[in-house]
């Protein structure tokens, strides 16, 4: 499992509420990523991090923010959740050979 955990694993929240998802790694990798997975779209990159306090946007970053205050944790925040953000969210780490390994995922439902 590449030492990656995500929390929570499932969450139901109401429109307009803030939500934070956590990704935790135990292997001290520099690069971390957040993707969302929706039917018909595959996986799409939301944000990524290339070090502590170093983050950048991916292709679907609107409505999301991230933070990385320590190497092992990468947080994804939905400031005001909308129904269009109902999805499965996967965190990934990148090893030295460029391979990415995914966490177990978080299923988020916004009602």
Partner 1 sequence: GENVEQHPSTLSVQEGDSAVIKCTYSDSASNYFPWYKQELGKRPQLIIDIRSNVGEKKDQRIAVTLNKTAKHFSLHITETQPEDSAVYFCAASRGTGANNLFFGTGTRLTVIP
* Contacts with partner 1, residue ranges (CB under 8 A): 31, 33, 40-45, 48, 50, 56, 58-59, 90, 94, 98-105
| Cα(88)–Cα(53) distance, integer angstroms | 25
Reduced to 3 states (helix: H, G, I; strand: E, B; else coil), residue 41 is coil
Beta carbon of residue 70, minimum distance to partner 1 (angstroms, whole number)? 19
68 burial (CB, 10 Å; 0-12 / 13-18 / 19+) is: buried
Q: Least CB distance from residue 49 to partner 1, whole Å?
A: 9
Give dist(CA 40, CA 42) in Å, integer.
6
Q: Which is nearer to partner 1, 2 or 75 (CB)?
A: 2
The whole-angstrom separation of Cα 39 and Cα 57 is 22
Q: Shortest gap between Cβ of 84 and partner 1 (angstroms)? A: 18
Q: Residue 77 or 100: which CB sits closer to partner 1?
A: 100
Task: Kindly tell me which of 15 and 56 has the beta carbon lying closer to partner 1.
Answer: 56
| Pairwise CA distance, residues 44 & 14, whole Å | 23
Q: How far is the CB of 107 from partner 1 (least distance, A)?
A: 9
């Amino acid at each position: 499992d590449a030492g990656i955990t995500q929390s929570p694993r499932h969450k139901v929240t109401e429109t307009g509420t803030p939500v934070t998802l956590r990704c935790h790694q135990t292997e001290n990798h520099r690069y971390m990523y957040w993707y969302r997975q929706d039917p018909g779209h595959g996986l799409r990159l939301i944000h990524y991090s290339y070090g502590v306090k170093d983050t950048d946007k991916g292709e679907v970053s609107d409505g999301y923010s991230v933070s990385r205050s320590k190497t092992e944790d990468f947080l994804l925040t939905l400031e005001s959740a909308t129904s269009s953000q109902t999805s499965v969210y996967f965190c990934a780490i990148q090893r030295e050979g460029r391979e990415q390994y995914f966490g177990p995922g978080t299923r988020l439902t916004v009602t």
